[in-house]
Amino acid sequence: MFWCGVTFCGFGAGAPVGTIIGALAMVALFVFATIPMKEKRMASRKPGFQDYCDRVPALWPRFRERRS
């Protein structure tokens, strides 16, 4: 979200539309490089981390109905 915000601020300051490529590249790096590497490392160090990963999304939250 940070890089998307920086991109929109750049648009407000007159940056070219091609600036969005930088934000998309940063999001792609998080999704395809940083998050998988971090999850692999955490899974090797913390027992039960894989169960946590199965329940909680890595980047964008899922909203569920609360059960009473």
Task: Answer yes or no: is 42 within a domain.
Answer: yes
Q: How many domains, in total, are found in the chain?
A: 1
**Per-residue pLDDT tens for 5-24?**
889 899 889 989 888 898 89
- Host domain of residue 41: 2-55
Task: Give the pTM.
Answer: 0.65
Which string of DSSP letters, residue by residue, matches the chain?
-HHHHHHHHHHHTT--GGGHHHHHHHHHHIIIIIHHHHHHHHHHHSTTHHHHHHHS-SSSPPP-PPP-
Task: Answer yes or no: is 62 within a domain.
Answer: no
Amino acid 33: pLDDT: 92
Is-contact 1 20, C-beta < 8 A? no
Q: Which amino acid is it at 29? A: L
Task: Answer yes or no: is 21 within a domain.
Answer: yes
Task: Answer yes or no: is 61 within a domain.
Answer: no
Tokens encoding 59: 């980047």
- Measured CA to CA, the distance from residue 30 to residue 1 in angstroms comes to 11
